[in-house]
Structure 1
Amino acid sequence: MDEVKEVLRRAAALGPYFAVSTDPDEEVDPTWRPLPETDPERLDGLIDQYAQRLGTGDRRVAASILFQGVASRLWSPVVASAALGVVPDLASLHWRWAPGAPIALWLADPTGWPASPARAIETVVDGQLRPLRDTMAKVVKLADGLIWGNVASALAGTLYAARTSPDLAATLVPFVQDLLALPPLATAGELTPRGYVRRSCCLYYKVPPGGEMCGDCALLHRS
C-alpha cells in the first residue's frame, strides 16, 4: 500500500490531471461516488448538465465528450504510475464531478500490481470503462467504434507526459504503444510519425459554434 501511495504521489507531480487522492479522511465526504457510475438516472442528469455546459442540445455529443473526459482522467494517473512500475487497482476508486469543475478521484484502498499492459487494460478498460459504457448505453446510444476511439484517443493523449517529464519517456512511451496494440483499442486508430490518428470521431465538431476538430480526428484532411 505504501509503495502504491508513493507512486501515485509521484504521478500527481505531473499535474492535476494525474492526481488521485489516497487520503483516508476523504471517506467522510458524502459527495464521493463509486466509479464506474452504475446509476443510469444519475448519469442521465450528468449528461444533461454537460450538454448545457457545452451549449449543445445533442446529448450524444455531450455523452461522448463526457466519456472521453473520464477516460482521460483514468488513463493519466494509471499510465504515469505504470511508467514508475505500478498499475494501481481501481476497484475502490471514487469520483466527484460537477459541470465547470475538474473530475476529482479518490482511491479508498490504494493497492496495485507490477506494471503490465494486460493489467492496465483489465483495471481501466474492463474494470471501469466497459461498465460505464454499459450504464451510458441505457440513456444515450453511442457506437462502439466511437467509444473505443475515445478511449484510445484519451490514452494517446498521455504521451505528452513524456515530453514534459523526459525521465519517464523510456518506459511511458512503449507502455502506451503496447496498450494501443491491445483490444479493444487496436482497431480504434494508429500511431503515426505525426501523432495518433483515430478511425472515428468524438463528435466535438458539433459543439457550438461548430466546425472545430480534434488533432487526431478521422475527419481531418492530412496532406
Structure 2
Amino acid sequence: MQTGGVVGEGVADLLGEVAGLGPYFEIVTGAAVGAGWRPFPDDEWVLGATVEYGERLGTGERRVAASILFQGLASRLWSPVVAAAARGIVPDLADLRWRWAPGEAVALGLAEPRGWRVEGVGEAADLVHPMVVDGHLRALRETMLSFVSLADGLVWGNAVSALAGSLNVGPSGGFRAALVRELLGREPLAGAGAFEADGFVRRNCCLYYRVPGGGMCGDCGLLSRNLR
C-alpha cells in the first residue's frame, strides 16, 4: 500500500485524544497491553463473549447475541480508525490485541502503536478498508460462523451500521464524513446501506427486536419511512 509514510511517534497520543470521544473510540496503548491480551479475534473469547451477551440480553438465540456482538466489535474497530484518519493518521491494526473476561467490557489495544500519514480521503480508504474489513471483520465473521449461522446480509449490514453510526459522536463533517461515504461504497459494504434524506438506512436488520424489551434501531431497514 502506498502511503504518506509510516509513523510511530505521536500515534499513541492521537489515539488517546480520539478515545475522549467515547468508549467505542478507545484503543489502549503501550505497556498496559501485555499479559492477558490476545490477538483479535480469538475463537475461544468470541464464543465466550457471545454466550455472555446472550445472557445479558436475556435471549436464548445465539444468532441474535452474535449479531449484536459483531456490530459492537465493528464499532470499536471503525470508530477510532476513522476518527484518527480524519486527523491525518491511519493507525496500523496489524498487531491488534483484545481483552475480554466475563462481566467486563471488551477492550482493544496496541502495544506499539504505529500508523500512516494520510492526506486524501481515497488514500485513507485504501488503508482503512483492507485493514478493517479483510484484516479483522472477515476473520470475526468466520469465527462466528464456526458456531452460529449468520446471513451475509446481516453481517455486512451490521458493519455498515457501525461505520455510519460512528459519525453520530463528535464532529462528523468534512474528511470524516467523506471517508465513511467512500468506505460504504466498497465491497462487501456496498449496497448494504446508504444515506438517504432522513438519515442512514441499512437494508436489513440486526435482530435487536428479538431481544426481550428490544425494538428496531433508527437505521433499521424494516422501519417504514413514517416511523424513521
Q: TM-score scaled to structure 2, two decimals? A: 0.88
Judge conservation of contact 1:53–1:100 (CA < 8 Å) in 2: no
Which consecutive aligned stretches of 4+ in structure 1 deviate over 6 angstroms post-superposition? none
* Structure 1 residue 87, shift from structure 2 partner: 1.1
Distance 1:101 1:154 in 2: 21
Instruction: Work out whether residues 95 and 106 of structure 1, in 8 Å CA contact, stay in contact via their aligned partners in 2.
Output: yes
Q: 2:69 aligned with 1:53, yes or no?
A: no
SS of the residue corresponding to residue 149 of structure 1 reads helix
1:193 to 192, 197, 214: 197
Aligned equivalents of 2:89 and 2:33: distance in 1?
23
Q: CA deviation at 1:25?
A: 4.1
Task: State the partner residue of 1:17.
Answer: 24
1:55-204 pair list within 5 angstroms: 55-115=58-118, 116-161=124-169, 164-165=170-171, 169-204=173-208
- Say which is worse superposed, 201-210 or 2-11, in terms of deviation: 2-11
Give the whole-Å Cα distance in 1 for the aligned partners of 2:103 and 2:190.
33
Q: Percent identity?
A: 55
Unmatched 5+ stretches in structure 1: none
CA distance in 1, matches of 2:102, 2:222: 28
TM-score, normalised by the number of residues in structure 1? 0.90
Q: For residue 7 of structure 1, what is the aligned residue in structure 2? A: 14
Task: Identify the range of structure 1 (123-132 vs 9-18) with the bigger mean alpha-carbon deviation.
Answer: 9-18
- 8 A contact 2:30–2:112 mirrored in 1: no
In 2, Cα distance between equivalents of 1:150 and 1:25: 30
Matched residues, number: 214
Asked if structure 1 preserves the Cα contact closer than 8 Å seen for 2:30 and 2:113, the reply is no
